[in-house]
Structure 1
Amino acid sequence: MLGEESVDIGEKQDGKLWVDKYAPRMYVDLLGEERINREVLTWVKQWDHCVFKKPIKKVQPGGNPIDPYHRPEKKILLLSGPAGLGKTTLAHIVGRHSGYNVIEINASDDRTGESLRNKLIGAIESQSLNSKRPNLIIIDEIDGASASGGEEVCSFSKPTSSKRRVLLRPIICICNDQYAPVLRPLRAIAQTYAFRPPPHRILANRLTEICKQEGLQTDLRVLMTLCELTDGDIRSSLNTLQFFRRKTRVLTIEMLAGMEVGSKDMTRGLFRVWEDVFTIPSAKKKKKLGGGEDGDAGRYIHRLLALVSANGEVDKILQGCYENYLKMRVVDTVASTSDTTRSATKIEQALDWLVFHDRIDKFLIVDKDFELFKYQPFTIVNFYRLFAGISKPTIEFPRADYDNFVTRRMNENIVSMFMNTLSLSERVTWGNRARVLQELVTPLLQIISPDFRAVNVNLLKSNERIVLDRLVDVMVSFGLKFVQEKGEDGHYMFKLFP
């Protein structure tokens, strides 16, 4: 329960969600990475001559060929990132700030590419009766569209023909997973920006101002904890605070820990298990377990086994142990063993237990020997024996698997784009993806990375010129090139494409 005073909270709530009530109204109110906000606004402003017939700035010599309609080089913008980070809000604010009437389309509502195309044509060519502003189209959840839907969006930015309409209005697509298969053709032609959670302190400061306006007493430490629980999800943080404000006037860390709010139920359960694994119980907690001094450790280990078994997410718990055990304060770097001729460190013992877990998994999956299932939690219990400490640990949710999944999807996409650039004769030799990865990619990267002196091309020696000419021929034959891109620090760099 959150307190008896929850019943007599004086102020009448207006019934409006805080997510809408405190949504940014102007560009300066936006959270998130300033660089992305600025570059999205710059991309939209590049449509000014095409849409508003504003004067064209003088084109720098040596720049990209001028579009006949003076549009950006990439005609579609793709914003990607987890939910709740403000992607749609940014698109709406930038559109209104630039003088557009914003029209939002949810691509996941359309099961066919034809219906999505009809909606797009209607949004681009229609004019609102209440506003004379031109339209800017936002396509939300584009990764939830059908495969043909993604291709239909791409068709708007392709070179015009006698039967194809010319795209004369900006389109902003929004997705959670930019590497979804449906977005493969769109990634190749769209200007892409990946959103990351805002710094927790910046988000906590904004939440502090909201709490003061709503009469919710709390402090920055509690709000920082909330930001960590929600992983920087602005929408989830505001909904959580509004939930507590309906019940009480004061918010504490104990309330956050005691309620399944701010993150998924499974995640909160996992955090409790990880804290128990890496924390030695206090004297007060030992007293609750009962028994004498000699029986405390054994009783707690049995309780930990029951806790892990009841949770059921043994693999996920072990992933969390694996990602966090090196961050623990290990008092003794060498653990005593029964073998007097050899001392194994605690880290070595932990790795041995991980091997034991992998072997159990092998017997479960391959041999279907389900009798061994009851031995899985013992690996986790040994992490308690080796790494548990008195102080409360700082636990991070395991993200290595997801990061590896995203990296693998990105690398697979690069390989697919590379194979598409091969000529027909080369595809006969290198048509198999596994063979390309095993026999071509690694040697090719070494070939196109020769050891050159960092001097002007005119100062190269004759043998170095021969190597350079050969390098250019190899890159041309495989469709490789260097593309200039702006880094996060604002400096330009050359990246190998694809």
Structure 2
Amino acid sequence: MLRTFTEYLIIFWINVEDVENAAIGTKDSTTSMMQALQAIFTINDSEPTSILKTIQAAGEYDRIVEGIFENYLTARVDSRLLIACETTTWLRLYDIVSSWTQRTQNYSLYSLLPLCIARCHSLLASRQQLKVKFPMQAQEMSRRRAELESAVAAVRAARVDVSRRALRLDLLPLLPYVLSPTLRSANIQLCSETERKSLRACAGAMCDFGLQYSQQRTPEGLYAFLLEPDVYKVAFFGSEERLRPPPAVRQAIAREQQLEIIRRNENMMNRMCSKNSSSEAKQKTDKQTITKDVKTELPNHLQRLQPKVIEKPTRVSVSFIYTN
């Protein structure tokens, strides 16, 4: 019995090396995303093979790849950009595997993702400490894209007959030129007839496409007339301020648009009233004809006896006075 117990202890004898090599407790040893990024761009002489464990402990593979994409040009760069080209190749492989995994829900190649990131570490790591930026460009571009899509959808909602492609390529690039009339003065009374026509055309275009100038508070604490939705951001890429009218002209455009809305509402009310009056007159005439037909088509037991009107023949008066 004692011999059996001794053999049992010898079999399950554990030393310090076995404890260090055991994978127990690695689930709780988490690493932040910034620590993983810093480790990717830095060479660790004490543990050169620990980068894979660091990446797996961080877990946010997509955010780590975004951080590599935003910082790889400030890391090791050769004159022929071979390192940068190979880095983008591994990032492209990561995108292919990640998109395939999400599309098919097949996680057989999911373990390849940290290996792609570890390969980027072997290309970009250096002994010099690199100041890593937090990845924000992807979120910023996603937010800006959603803003532009909402602006296009708001403009298209007012013009149902225009397709989205035609709106993006044909109408919106030229619309800011219509919305920027050239006025010598913000006072409409001092403008010429041509300037007034251009101002009315601008107000009519804004009414047609569902645009308006609303007074909002700027980050500087001032109130200004801002265009909603802002089609300048869709028409121009980064240079939307070049055709924006000055604040005084924006105020004049907003006032003219309000007058244009009032004129259109009055015209619509007049058309509706004329349609209603014509429809009422038509209904009245139809009702009269219907009642007339009903009166003539009454059954016998509902009709009233009326005395028959006898027409007396006209008699010619005869004169009996004889004249010689």
Which is greater in Rg?
A: 2
Calculate the TM-score normalised by the size of structure 1: 0.34
More strand per residue: 1 or 2?
1
| TM-score where L is the length of structure 2 | 0.49
Question: Higher helix proportion, which one?
Answer: 2
